[in-house]
């Protein structure tokens, strides 16, 4: 009986040692550097609302646009744009007397750039 008890203590000890080693010895995966944000964001048309910009100078995978109803702070939609896009036309419905916020972020390897925002008053 004593032999079984000692084995279980050793097993628990081994599990703890393995957990400790795994926690502190796994080599962290290098995270990708954040891409530069887009620049020169401008509204070039009001119906449909069309936005144009200059893409980041650093490499990126895609650009994400979030349209936010700024009046009541509700996300209207989120859209992912393919790499190389420089124009976005919003054909969605808009309520009168509301402000909308277009938020643009570039992504590389899951890491986002700083946000670039443009307000549209309807």
Contact yes or no for 77/67 (Cβ under 8 A): yes
Cross-strand bridge partners of residue 102: 67, 118
- In the prediction, which pLDDT does 31 show? 60
Per-residue pLDDT of the chain (122 residues; tens, 9 = 90+): 444 455 555 677 777 766 665 666 655 555 668 999 999 999 999 889 999 999 999 999 999 999 999 888 889 999 999 999 999 999 988 888 889 999 999 999 999 999 999 999 98
Q: What is residue 30's predicted lDDT score, i.e. its pLDDT?
A: 54
What confidence tens digit (pLDDT) does each residue in 41-55 have? 999 998 899 999 999
Which residue, 54, 48, 55, is CA-closest to 100? 48
Mean pLDDT of the chain: 85
Task: Please give the angle made by the CA atoms of 25, 27 and 31, to the nearest 5 degrees.
Answer: 145
CA atoms of 120 and 46, how far apart (whole Å): 9
């Amino acid at each position: 009986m004593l032999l079984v008890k000692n084995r279980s203590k050793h097993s628990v000890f081994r599990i703890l040692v393995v957990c400790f080693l795994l926690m502190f010895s796994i080599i962290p995966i290098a995270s990708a550097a954040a891409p530069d944000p887009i620049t020169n964001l401008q509204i070039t048309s009001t119906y449909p609302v069309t936005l144009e910009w200059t893409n980041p100078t650093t490499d990126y995978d895609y650009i994400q646009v979030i349209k936010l109803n700024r009046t009541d702070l509700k996300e209207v939609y989120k859209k992912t744009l393919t790499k190389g896009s420089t124009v976005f036309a919003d054909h969605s419905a808009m309520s009168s007397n509301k402000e909308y916020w277009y938020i643009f972020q570039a992504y590389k390897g899951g890491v986002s750039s700083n946000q670039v925002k443009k307000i549209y008053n309807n």
